């Protein structure tokens, strides 16, 4: 019975921690398709803070009849350098982040989320620097039709100052604390499983 109390205490702590960290974060939503005039004009720019999320929604067609005679949009999104951003071309330095290749997904548009953080415990996560600009662009995949160049610029707040240093340290602590809380919770679940088996 004691293990359940410990487990429920940890669960409450992690739940509270996630609620507090998510209350501070904003979600920036971008519908990535050729009907978004700000993406095709190349003037879309978003300023983000640490712990914010960038949510990219892929092109979606609820059924085959909504397209008419055209092909559904299918594209790959890249994180590119500023020089590549100007021309919408795939370069050797580009990082392929996501591929929008399921335009008829049964439960709505596919969403990819990028958490804006200085440090990440995940191998596929991307680490952002304060005061820097990051550039996303897309290219059509081989299966899809030709598409206009679509681009997005992300600016991460804040410049590296004494306040920015405090922000970086806080972000690092928050990431590490979240990672350790999840690890401890997984450890307690495994212990609980062993106790039940005995």
pLDDT score recorded for residue 30? 95
Domain that holds residue 95: 27-156
Question: What does the alpha-carbon distance between residue 47 and residue 28 come to, in Å, rounded to a whole number?
Answer: 9
**Total number of domains constituting the chain:** 2
pLDDT score recorded for residue 144? 77
> Mean pLDDT for each consecutive 10-residue tract of the chain (198 residues)?
57 57 77 92 91 93 68 89 73 83 90 90 82 90 84 84 56 64 67 65
- Identify whether residues 97 and 186 lie together within a single domain: no
pLDDT score recorded for residue 181? 64
Determine the 3-state secondary structure of 71 from DSSP.
coil
Residue 18 forms part of a structural domain:
no
- Residues near 29 by beta carbon (within 8 Å), at least 6 away in sequence: 55, 57
- Identify whether residues 144 and 193 lie together within a single domain: no
pLDDT score recorded for residue 2? 59
- pTM (2 d.p.): 0.66
Dihedrals phi, psi of 12, to nearest 5 degrees:
-65, -40
Residue 12 forms part of a structural domain:
no
Residue 86 forms part of a structural domain:
yes
pLDDT score recorded for residue 63? 74
Residue 149 forms part of a structural domain:
yes
- Identify whether residues 48 and 131 lie together within a single domain: yes
- Identify whether residues 184 and 127 lie together within a single domain: no
Residue 41 forms part of a structural domain:
yes
pLDDT score recorded for residue 193? 66
- Identify whether residues 141 and 174 lie together within a single domain: no
């Amino acid at each position: 019975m004691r293990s359940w109390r410990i487990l429920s205490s940890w669960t409450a702590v992690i739940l509270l921690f996630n609620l507090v960290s998510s209350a501070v974060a904003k979600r920036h939503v971008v519908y990535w398709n050729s009907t978004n005039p700000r993406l095709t004009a190349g003037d879309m720019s978003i300023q983000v803070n640490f712990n914010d999320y960038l949510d990219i929604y892929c092109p979606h067609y609820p059924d085959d009849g909504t397209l008419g005679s055209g092909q559904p949009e299918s594209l790959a999104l890249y994180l590119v350098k500023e020089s590549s951003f100007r021309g919408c071309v795939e370069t050797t330095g580009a990082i392929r982040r996501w591929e929008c290749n399921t335009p008829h997904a049964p439960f709505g548009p596919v969403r990819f989320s990028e958490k804006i953080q200085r440090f990440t415990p995940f191998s596929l996560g991307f680490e952002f620097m304060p005061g820097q600009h990051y550039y996303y662009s897309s290219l059509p995949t081989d299966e899809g039709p030709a598409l206009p160049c679509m681009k997005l610029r992300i600016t991460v707040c804040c410049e590296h100052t004494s306040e920015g240093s405090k922000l970086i340290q806080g972000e690092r602590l928050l990431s590490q604390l979240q990672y350790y809380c999840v690890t401890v919770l997984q450890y307690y679940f495994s212990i609980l499983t062993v106790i039940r088996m005995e």
